[in-house]
Amino acid sequence: MSFVPGIGIVKGMGLTLRRFFEPKATVKYPEQKADVAAKFRGRLQLLLDEHGALKCETCFQCAQACPIECIDMGGMDTKSRFHVHWGPPETYGERREESAIRRSGRTVPDPAFNSFQPLELDALDEALRRYDYDPRRMLEILEATQAIYGHLPVAAIKKISQLTGAWYAPIYGVATYYGHLRFESPEAKAQVAAMAARRPSEDAYLAHLGASLAGGSGVGGPS
């Protein structure tokens, strides 16, 4: 590896010089205003890294922080462990309304929650009663929900949010963290299998470790 002293400075100055002669993009706000459409509110975009993986952890902290709770998320997380489903678009308006109501401290009215996929909610009601609608027992509630449906359906999460008073985004944030909680319906067998294969598993780790110690399966080798 050779190293030319000062090359970094030269490169840096080169960049500075180039920028110096480029047209200015900065606008003297608020005296001047950029020419944007009246309804423009900026664009939220999730970026991909150089391997084409989503740079998002699905931690839902952005959704949690968003003052009007307009952020919803869907797709695959950074490590391709979770496929998080988007809620149906027609419910977005209702969701904003719901969060506004929740911030006001009132409970969210019931009927809106039935507009997702049809879901038999009696068992969930019963489970929530068992946990005393206590948001502090969210992990147990989510585990019970998964025991009922085989996964965590959006409608169930909304129902949990409504009855425990916990915000939707943090509930999702909890659910995406724990490896044993799933979002894929058990009926979607191919997807379930694909997602399971992507999740880091202890068995896979031990198998790789054993193979590595025994001198097998290195990078690029036959796997």
Partner 1 sequence: MSLLKTPAGWPSILLPKADGGAGKDAFSGLRHAIHLGPTGTIAEVAASGLRGHGGSGYTTADKWRAAALAGRDAGVSTRYVVVNGYGADPSSLTDRTLLAENPAGVVEGAAIAAWAIGAEEAIIAVRAGETAAIAALEGAIAAAGAAGLLGNDAAGTGHRLEVEVRTVQGAYMLGEETVLIKALEGKRGQPEQRPPHPTEDGLWGKPTVVQNAQTAAAAAWILAHGAAEFRQAGTSEDPGTILVDVRGPAGGGIAEVPFGTTLAAIAKLAGGTGAGHEIKAVLVGGPSGGILPADHLTTPYTFEALRVAGAHVGSGSVIVADERACIVDLARLLTRYCADEACGKTIPCRIGTRRMAEIGERLAGGTSRAGDLELLVDLAEDIVGSALCDHERLATLPLMSGLRYFRPEIDAHLERGECPAGVCHPSALGRPPATATTTPSATQPSSASPA
Give SS3 for 153.
Answer: coil
Identify residues 66-125 at the interface with ligand SF4 (CB under 6 A).
73
Q: Give CA–CA dist 94/68, Å, rounded.
A: 13
Binding to ligand SF4 by CB under 6 A, coded x per residue (else -) over 7-46, reads: ---------------------------------------x
Pairwise CA distance, residues 166 & 160, whole Å: 8
Contact 95, 87 (CB under 8 A): yes
59 binds ligand SF4 (CB under 6 A): yes
Query: CA–CA separation, 192 vs 183, rounded Å?
Result: 9
Q: Which of 13, 193, 194, 209 binds partner 1 (CB under 8 A)?
A: 209
- Triad 40, 43, 47: Cα angle to 5°: 170
Point out which span in 17-25, 31-39, 115-123, 199-207 binds partner 1 (CB under 8 A). Answer: 199-207
Question: Does residue number 165 form part of the binding site for partner 1 (CB under 8 A)?
Answer: no
Q: Which residues bind partner 1 (CB under 8 A)?
A: 1-4, 50-51, 53, 57, 59, 78-79, 135-141, 170, 173-174, 176-181, 198-206, 208-209, 212-216, 218-221
